[in-house]
Amino acid sequence: MKVFYCIAFIFLLSSSFTKAADNSSASLRAELQGVYKSRFKNGLVSGEEYQSENIVEIVPFEDSNIYIRAHLEFFNGHLCSIWGIAEYEDGIFVYHDPTPSIDGSPSCTLKISASEKNLMLSDIDNATGLSTCSMNCGARGSFSNYSIARSSKKNIRYLKRLKTSPQYLESIDAFKKMQSLTHHSSGTPNGAP
């Protein structure tokens, strides 16, 4: 009888942790969703100046994930661009590029988090301290510890168009393929729990 109560207690405890994680994920998704834009003066090595704009889009996807697209501009016309489905992990969202790196270094991993005032992106690998998404950037660009003011966030009024964009459709396809491979490699047939 004691074993039954212990098992029941463990089940209830793990169930409450799962619900708490789901609530945290939903809360953070709701808090972050929208489009963030920042305009600023930029320049070329020739001395010519021009207007640049950084854009980060976040859209809820399925139960606990987000779609993220980030387009960042840097000096001399260099860019960083990335899009994909990020999953909730340890209090933040994390995008794992399904394409393995060519040189054996860590695959592109982009962390999406927030402070009271900023939305933050970082591709720094905790173990090596190196940028992992540099293949998505020009020579002067980087996702290393980028932040944009949360006050710059607006509602996405073009959501229907965004959800038919090649980037969004590609992201969903890649995410579903990755899930399918994960379920098959873990021995779970057809994605069943």
Element holding 117 (H helix, E strand)? none
Instruction: Say how far apart CA 73 and CA 55 lie, in whole Å.
Output: 9
Residue 182 in tokens? 């994960």
Minimal CA–CA distance to 136: which of 165, 118, 110, 113? 110
DSSP state of 175: H
Q: Which residues of the chain have pLDDT under 50?
A: 3-21, 188-193
pLDDT, position 178: 86
Instruction: Say how far apart CA 43 and CA 46 lie, in whole Å.
Output: 8
Question: Contact at 8 Å (CB) between 143 and 123?
Answer: yes
pLDDT, position 16: 39
- Chain centroid to Cα 109, Å, comes to 8
Query: What pTM, to 2 d.p., does this model score?
Result: 0.80
- Sign of the dihedral defined by the CA atoms of residues 49, 83, 169, 104, in that order: positive
pLDDT, position 35: 98
Task: Name 22's Cβ contacts closer than 8 Å, sequence gap at least 6.
Answer: 63, 64
Determine phi and psi for 158, rounding to 5 degrees.
-110, 35
Residue 188 in tokens? 């779970």
Instruction: Say how far apart CA 170 and CA 41 lie, in whole Å.
Output: 32
Question: Contact at 8 Å (CB) between 26 and 64?
Answer: yes
Instruction: Say how far apart CA 64 and CA 2 lie, in whole Å.
Output: 36
pLDDT, position 22: 54
Question: Contact at 8 Å (CB) between 40 and 52?
Answer: yes
